[in-house]
Amino acid sequence: MITKDLSIIREKLKQGELIGLPTETVYGLAANVFNSKAVASIFTTKNRPTTNPLIVHVASINQVRALVKRFPEKASLLAKHFWPGPLTMILPKNQVVSGLVTADNDHVAIRIPNHPTALSLLNQLDFPLVAPSANPFNRISPTTAEHVDAYFPSIYTLDGGPCSSGVESTIVGFEDDEVILLRHGAISMEILESQVGRLLNRTAASEHASLPGQHKKHYSPNCQLIVTYEPLFMLSAIKHKKVGILWYQSVPIESIYVEVNLVLAPSGDLAEAAQNLFSALHTLDKMGLDLIIVERLPAQGLGNTMNDRLDRAATQ
């Protein structure tokens, strides 16, 4: 159920229900962070392991400080440059944040989203929201209200239009004076390093992830997905399959063995490709294909973020 009526969404949240929340990254499945029953419902609705913590969304730095014990100096610097925005920081939580939200870790993932509709809603509430991506666990992330509605038609989704970034937030943590990159996201590692210096990269996937978005298998369509620098070469090993190819910038050669070709960024702009990535995967996923082949993106900037998502989507 899609709506633009904030009053309906506010009431649903106050009643302890879940809602679809637009952000600049992807749509989230949101609940009152202080309502344990509602938070638990997120895990059951998504079929998400309770060992996989949630990201808290707030409207202001003051709300962040009310939820954490400490705000490191480099966290303040990052907040100054990138909040509101697609940057999630892992900070030591205080006692008001439930262990259910953090998977019993003593740190909480938190950010201020840069989306006018989300911020308007958050500023009208007297509680923050937890909001992991609004998709069943391991499925393709939603970047429109229609994507959420297709997954969860009985839940009210606040329509904020297509997501401008199109991929999830970047996640960082802190150790002493070091900033740790924990998940590639909508702000590239290079952009972060331009503000705080060298980051330690700990983005490796895990079967038992203790941070959002670190599972080896994630973001997956219903059919098999392969990521390669040579999509057409892969066709030589494939027989009698309905195949779709997702290209980066252009389709170099048409093939009679390909059912559909889609292009992420005719301009070659990686930000455009990121904005279109999940939407294109949703389109291909609806076509009853046997196989999706995706051209690997350049290994720089947001290309690293998209390759990370695609490699997880390709994991069997």
First-last CA distance in the chain: 32
Over residues 136-164, the mean pLDDT reads 96
The pLDDT value given to residue 145: 97
The answer as to CATH 3.90.870.10 being correct for domain 2-201 is yes
- For residues 262 and 246, the answer to whether their CB atoms sit within 8 Å is yes
Kindly report, residue by residue over 224-243, the tens digit of the pLDDT. Answer: 999 999 998 887 777 778 99
The model carries a pTM of 0.92
Query: Count of CB atoms within 10 A of residue 16's CB?
Result: 14
At 214, is the pLDDT very low, low, confident or very high (cuts 50, 70, 90)?
A: low
Over residues 71-82, the mean pLDDT reads 93
Over residues 243-250, the mean pLDDT reads 94
At 176, is the pLDDT very low, low, confident or very high (cuts 50, 70, 90)?
A: confident
Residue ranges, comma separated, of all CATH 3.40.50.11030 domains in the chain are 224-314
Residue type, 114: N
Residue type, 69: K
Kindly report, residue by residue over 109-136, the tens digit of the pLDDT. Answer: 999 999 999 999 999 999 999 999 999 9
- Distance separating alpha carbons of residues 34 and 127, to the nearest angstrom: 7
* Helix (H) or strand (E) run with residue 157 in it: strand 156-158
Q: Is the pLDDT assigned to residue 255 strictly greater than 90? A: no
The pLDDT value given to residue 218: 63
The pLDDT value given to residue 208: 44
- Distance separating alpha carbons of residues 302 and 213, to the nearest angstrom: 16
At 43, is the pLDDT very low, low, confident or very high (cuts 50, 70, 90)?
A: very high
The third-level CATH classification (topology) of the domain covering 224-314 is Rossmann fold (3.40.50)
Over residues 50-58, the mean pLDDT reads 94
Average pLDDT in the chain:
92
Q: Starting from the edge strand earliest in sequence, which strands make up the sheet with 19-21, in order?
A: 2-3, 156-158, 19-21, 28-32, 129-130, 55-57, 107-111, 87-92, 170-175, 178-183, 199-201
Residue ranges, comma separated, of all CATH 3.90.870.10 domains in the chain are 2-201
At 221, is the pLDDT very low, low, confident or very high (cuts 50, 70, 90)?
A: confident
